[in-house]
Amino acid sequence: MLVFDTGVPEHYIDTDSWGGRVMARLDDGWCAALDRESLRCTIYDNRPSICREFKMGEDECMNERMKHMSNK
């Protein structure tokens, strides 16, 4: 959920079923701002606060990356 205005471009924002502003997801379920080849954020400087708290390389990050890589 996007709680603070961090400058996320509008085309990456969606509205959830409760009316909250969230990051848009593509058909594969991944964030629309994620480059699928490099697994890097395309809006890194303007990423939401939750993404700023999710540290690259930590266990949760690596688990998500492994799930994505095994689905290719």
Q: How far is CA 69 from CA 1, 22, 34, 40, 62, in A?
A: 25, 24, 14, 13, 10
Tokens representing residue 21 in the block: 């502003």
Tens-digit pLDDT profile for residues 10-53:
999 999 999 999 999 999 888 999 998 888 899 999 998 888 87
Residue 6: per-residue pLDDT: 75
Question: CA triplet 22, 26, 32: central angle to 5 degrees?
Answer: 60
The 8-class DSSP code of residue 31 comes to: B
Handedness of CA 2, 48, 4, 13 (dihedral sign): negative
Q: What's the pLDDT band for 60 if we cut at 50, 70, 90? A: confident
pTM (2 d.p.):
0.71
Cα(64)–Cα(38) distance, integer angstroms = 14
pLDDT score of 68: 66
